[in-house]
A = this chain, B = another copy of it.
């Protein structure tokens, strides 16, 4: 019954999260509960906390593995570092940055919203202007998504850091890396990010359930004076249990811990830089297909192209929701809907996580058939051909099989 929408063959999961889980991770999670106060779980946790830093490219950060989602990780980030009324400069460039801003406002912060047209990146010129003017350092934090999942736009975090340095501005940099970390090039220490966060169901390729937040020493320091009320999300409780060596202020998911172990092992085996390169390949191939179909990328400039998700603009006579519905009903293909301002106007291809070239080509061939079905005059095979031409030149041998 629970499987009543079963279709033959594999479901082609191309939403930008939750994403495909590698079989070894599913296997690792196929297990009983355990006493999390036995010596085994702290021992496992200790190594996980050490290893998880690598996905943030940090050595100085302190990670928190919280039983929550990305939304909870946002809340953990904000309430631990800021006090009600604090001014945050926040960039609205799509549905997920909008939701984060909504949260910031509801939590009582003073949000200074910098809006861009959906399809464009964060307006860093405006940031610069604000920083220049803010000699009194009223801006306590910059909140920015590394990758806006709704539009497929990647922001330039290195520039954010450069601007802050240029104006010697002490604002905290809070980064939503939900659809970037483990897939795009992200450098917490190098870019001076103060809090970065992701969710397990994104590029880590696990089930939903872990909000992973990493705090710089400066963020940890800020948490000592931040006045936002918090308990479940309070880093202090975690730090207390870190100190004691038992690690968990409340019950963790045993299954997700072993799943995280397996996921990190796979990342280690493939190599994080190879993972990032793979995402570059898959993103580029997708964009070439979109171009070959004669369709527009929602992302307006190459500098913002996202290698984890591509939002494809459909002609005005087509409802992109129909594409998503039809793909699922006829080809067992899950695509992402257009959200809010771009609802009906774009559909999204998520190409992040545990995915390879032929999976993507299968998806692209499915999109072509769906486009034809909804009345768009696509040349079948055109997108696949363009993507394959590129992939055929760029895909390396699988290292373990050479």
Given contacts A32-B26, A251-B17, whether A362 and B358 have CB atoms under 8 Å apart is: yes
**Cβ A201 vs Cβ B30 within 8 A:** no
Residues of B within 8 A of A255 (CB): 29, 207
User: Does A12 lie at the interface of the complex (its beta carbon under 8 Å from any beta carbon of B)?
Assistant: yes
Task: List B contacts of A39 (CB < 8 A).
Answer: 5, 328, 401
Q: Which of A344-402 contact B (CB under 8 A)?
A: 354-359, 361-363, 365-366, 368-369, 372-373, 379-382, 384-386, 388-389, 391-392, 395-398, 400-402
- Give the docked Cα–Cα distance between A229 and B105 (Å): 10
Q: Cβ of A15: which chain B residues have Cβ within 8 Å of it?
A: 35, 37
Q: Are A32 and B37 in contact (CB under 8 A)?
A: no
Q: Is A231's CB under 8 angstroms from B106's CB?
A: yes
- Chain A: number of interface residues, binned into ranges: 35 or more
Docked CA distance A18–B33 (Å): 6
**A270 to B8, Cβ gap below 8 A?**
yes
> Which of B229, B329, B354, B389 contacts A106 (CB under 8 A)?
B229
Binds B, one of A63-71, A133-141, A212-220, A303-311: A63-71
A308 to chain B, nearest CB (A): 14
**Cβ contacts A to B, 10 pairs, < 8 Å:** A5-B400, A6-B400, A11-B34, A67-B208, A71-B232, A107-B229, A328-B401, A330-B397, A379-B385, A380-B388
- Closest A-B pairs by Cβ, 4 of them: A381-B385, A362-B362, A9-B356, A18-B33
- Give residues in A with beta carbon < 8 Å to B: 2-13, 15, 17-24, 26-40, 43-44, 67-72, 74-75, 84, 102-103, 106-108, 199, 201, 207-209, 228-234, 249-256, 258, 261-262, 266, 269-270, 275, 278, 328-334, 336-337, 354-359, 361-363, 365-366, 368-369, 372-373, 379-382, 384-386, 388-389, 391-392, 395-398, 400-402
A29-B30, A35-B328, A67-B68 known, 18 other contacts, Cβ within 8 Å? A2-B28, A4-B40, A9-B358, A13-B33, A18-B33, A19-B33, A21-B33, A26-B31, A67-B69, A106-B229, A207-B255, A329-B397, A332-B356, A357-B366, A361-B362, A362-B365, A380-B384, A380-B392
